[in-house]
Amino acid sequence: MTTSIQQPPAGAPDATAARAADHLWMHFARQGRHPETPIPVVTRGEGAYIWDNRGRKILDGLSGLFVVQVGHGRRELAEVAAKQAAELAYFPVWGYTTPVQAELAERVADLAPGDLNRVFFTTGGGEAVESAWKAAKQYFKLIGKPQKHKVISRAVAYHGTPHGALAITGLPAMKKDFEPLAPGGFRVPNTNLYRHPEFAEDPKAFGRWAADRIEEAILFEGADTVAAVFLEPVQNSGGCLTPPPGYFERVREICTRHDVLLVSDEVICAFGRHGATFACEKFGYTPDLITCAKGMSSGYGAIGAMIASEKVVEPFLRPGVAFPHGYTFGGHPVAAAVSLANLDLMEAEGLNQRVLENEAALGATLRKLLDLPIVGDVRGDGYFWAVELVKDKATRETFDAAGRERLVRGFLPGALFDNGLYCRPDDRGDVVVQVAPPLICGQAEFDEIEQVLRHTLTEAQSLV
């Protein structure tokens, strides 16, 4: 065993950072950090704020990772977790159940739209997407259409890291190190209206155009080979790409016409992020499958789910049929108990309605940043927004590779954190800063977010 960084004395502010630098393989992060730039260490959270190991108070403008709907430090949820762990910490759903697993399945099914009544538990969103593709493939085999296995998703969309989910993901740079992936993933244009200014005066026409590209892909590949279309209600990667008017209505028509399952990937969007338990209801469509995770437990337990309609479930209910797929910790009893309590808490505090009442104020506050030369667009819905950064506002020119390196991986993460805001600089599409505060936030927190962004982005302008 080797140590690459000299360990500070135990209890020193950077002791944890040093341990992490030597032994923790971080997710979506460069591992070879310079020892003079210690890894940020977050030690506790309360409400909409987190504190680091130097005692600094930082506004959590991303809900952890689009997760902590009810805020940090909710002791009532911690107490539920402790009670369930003492009573029955673990038992699988591999042909068995526990009271909390069955109750949560019923609760989620009751909250889901239409006849989406069957809940398959996972431990996270990528697993939920993986499960949905496998369910779609087997569904069509069971009903006598075994050639239907392909999946269509949107350019720049992120759907997870397992090999199947990664094949659905529309980010070539994220996939290249892991190829070859599962075959059958195909891409169509996304709904970034800012990058289609020709439709600026007629967003409904843009929605029709984008939806028609899905039908075009289905017909090009052959409708008898396409199993599913995976779409987020609001696309995360690329920066909170909202659906144009009529888009999902048209997509639903196309999927029904060609017997293709419509999957609403709501890993981020479900459980209040857009002011509804499931965002598909807000945007006016009923899918065949829903994938969800994150906000179900507000991060107080690791849990996700695939929710299936009666149509999809029917052939799996036939005698002798099984779904040969599962996860050891899917529907973990502690996470299930916490999720039930979290849903109770969200309902008691009226958080869905709170988001609906405040989303316009959050958007208006962030749009104040449009007076900065570096800000090209502000877009989003609910408590899920993106500020797109540009090199040239008049031409909408984005940054080259060197500029992205300076901004997204060099300056912005540390500067924002140091200035008191945790949020997400991202360049998987164009360069954006994403904001998704806990659902308990209001105007005071919105103003604080805007002020820190304004100060930090003003500093960033000298780098472009």
Taking the chain (464 residues) in runs of 10, the rounded mean pLDDT of each run is 49 78 85 74 96 96 98 98 98 96 98 98 98 98 98 97 94 93 96 96 98 98 98 97 98 98 98 98 98 98 98 98 97 98 98 98 98 98 98 95 93 96 95 98 98 97 84
> Residue 389's beta-bridge partner residues?
375
Domain assignment of residue 250, yes or no: yes
Do 257 and 134 sit in the same domain of this protein? yes
C-alpha span between 252 and 211 (Å, rounded): 9
Do 326 and 340 sit in the same domain of this protein? yes
C-alpha span between 24 and 33 (Å, rounded): 12
Domain assignment of residue 3, yes or no: no
Per 3-state DSSP, the chain is made up of helix, strand and coil in percentages (nearest 5) of: 45, 15, 40
Do 174 and 314 sit in the same domain of this protein? yes
By the 8 A CB rule, do 11 and 43 touch?
A: no
Domain assignment of residue 5, yes or no: no
Report residue 170 as tokens. 């529309």
Do 339 and 417 sit in the same domain of this protein? no
C-alpha span between 280 and 35 (Å, rounded): 46
Do 21 and 139 sit in the same domain of this protein? no
Domain assignment of residue 81, yes or no: no
Domain assignment of residue 82, yes or no: no
Q: Give the residue numbers spanning the domain of 385.
A: 15-73+350-462
**Residue closest to 46 by CA, chosen among 5, 74, 76:** 74
Domain boundary pick from 329, 349, 369: 349
C-alpha span between 319 and 371 (Å, rounded): 64
Domain boundary pick from 303, 325, 349: 349
Do 364 and 339 sit in the same domain of this protein? no
Do 20 and 156 sit in the same domain of this protein? no
Domain assignment of residue 7, yes or no: no
Q: If you write DSSP's letter for every residue of 63-116 in order, what string do you get?
A: HHHHT-TT-B--HHHHHHHHHHHHHH-----SS---HHHHHHHHHHHHHSSTTE
**Residue closest to 116 by CA, chosen among 285, 318, 301:** 285
Is 0.85 surpassed by the pTM of this model? yes
Number of domains composing the chain: 2
Domain boundary pick from 294, 318, 349: 349
User: What confidence score (pLDDT) does residue 36 get?
Assistant: 67
- CATH number of domain containing 413: 3.90.1150.10
Rg (CA), the chain: 22
Do 152 and 297 sit in the same domain of this protein? yes
